[in-house]
Amino acid sequence: MKKKGRTGDRGEKPEREPRRVRLPRFLIEEEIGLGDAVKRVTYAVGIKPCGGCEQRAAALNRWMHFTR
């Protein structure tokens, strides 16, 4: 039996655009996500990436980008 009322997919949120933070041109050459920035820093420090690192980077990239 179908419920009457609202139709459509429940629980699914429309995907939002990531927040954009502008940085001076001399700091970055291209747009980079927050997850990619964290990944570069941890790699430079010497922390070895794990399986969860890719998921974290993808989630942070959906949240914020650095632009010129």
Report if residue 27 sits inside a domain.
yes
pLDDT digits (tens, 9 = 90+) for 7-66: 555 666 667 787 787 776 666 678 888 898 899 899 999 998 888 989 999 999 899 888
Q: What is the pLDDT of residue 56?
A: 92
Question: Which residues face 33 on adjacent strands?
Answer: 65
Report if residue 49 sits inside a domain.
yes
Range of the structural domain that residue 60 is part of? 19-67
Interatomic CA distance for residues 35 and 53, integer angstroms: 9
- Token representation of residue 1: 């039996």
Q: What is the pLDDT of residue 22?
A: 75
Q: What is the pLDDT of residue 55?
A: 92
The answer to whether residue 68 scores a pLDDT higher than 60 is yes
Report if residue 2 sits inside a domain.
no
* Burial class (CB within 10 angstroms; exposed 0-12, middle 13-18, buried 19+) of 5: exposed
**Model confidence, pTM:** 0.63
Q: What is the pLDDT of residue 19?
A: 79
Which of helix, strand or coil describes residue 48? coil
SS (H, E, C) 11-35: CCCCCCCCEEEECCCCCCCCCEEHH
Query: How many domains would you assign to the chain?
Result: 1
